[in-house]
Amino acid sequence: MNDTKEARSGQELIIRECHDFELTGKGESEQWDLADWSAMNLLDDTEDRYETRFKMLYSKKGIYVLGSCEDKLISTEYDKDQGDIWNGDVFEVFLQTDPSSPLYFEYEINPLNAELAILVPNNEGDFFGWSPWHYEEERKIKRAVHIRDGIAKSGSKISGWTAEMFFPFALFKGLINVPPKPGTTWRGNFYRMDYDSGKQIKWSWEPIETTFHEYKKFGTIIFK
């Protein structure tokens, strides 16, 4: 399919298998030594060129993601889950388990540890998100946030924040290529939004033109 070939022309992220570990938000587990940092690119003109990067691992039970965001100010008031948290500081993960299908999982987390978890069907730009059903116990995403040199409060001055996430394969039950095996290929992208300047400033791993939902521009995730 031409769309798939075009999408595969982007970056490749090879992720390694790890042992399961507890999340602290700091990325301090020795398991993270198995993964290299991947840089995210600033998309907008701004004086604050905050370094933004991420790591990714997987175990037999699920996917681990570590996001690191240099920052000066917590610019969000959203502290409730499943809200419009993208209207404030946020780190985002998009995962497409089946590259042939316009269906992907979107996850957002902010410095106040609020989350948004949705499955998105995207019909050539016509899309909307569906919340997980029975989002609890072994299907619940684990997450932890650490604030550097500050407190988790709207308006707090900080030097940065990190977020650790664990996406259990049980949450993706019914989707193709789950759980992945060595050699399995997914698609995905990683994003950040920051509002310290009073306007929306964006970062992404794979370049986009107008929206984070350009799934044909996702990069390739290869399970090693």
Query: In this model, does residue 110 exceed pLDDT 70?
Result: yes
Determine phi and psi for 190, rounding to 5 degrees: -135, 135
Residue 127's pLDDT band (boundaries 50, 70, 90)? confident
Residue-level pLDDT at 26: 98
Distance in angstroms (rounded) separating the CA atoms of residues 57 and 38: 12
Mean pLDDT of 186-195: 98
Q: What is the pTM (predicted TM-score) of this model?
A: 0.94
Q: What's the pLDDT score for residue 9?
A: 54
Counting residues of the chain whose pLDDT is more than 90, the rounded percentage is 92
pLDDT of residue 10: 82
Q: What is the CATH number of domain 2-223?
A: 2.60.40.1190
Q: Which two tokens mark 66?
A: 């570590």
How far does Cα 188 stand from its chain's mean position? 9
| E strand intervals along the chain | 12-17, 38-39, 41-42, 52-58, 62-70, 90-96, 103-109, 115-123, 126-127, 142-148, 160-168, 185-194, 201-204, 219-223
Euclidean distance between CA atoms 92 and 106, whole angstroms: 7
Average pLDDT (162-172) is 98
Give ∠ CA 35-92-7 in degrees, rounded to 5.
Answer: 75
The mean pLDDT value of the chain amounts to: 94
Task: Please choose, from the candidates 85, 82, 106, 102, the residue with its C-alpha nearest in 3D space to the C-alpha of residue 167.
Answer: 106
Matching residue, tokens 């042939």: 100
Map out the domains of the chain as residue ranges. 2-223
Residue 200 neighbours by CB under 8 Å, 6+ apart: 44, 193, 194
Picking from 7-11, 68-72, 124-128, 183-187, which range would have the lowest pLDDT averaged per residue?
7-11
Contact 139, 132 (CB under 8 A): yes
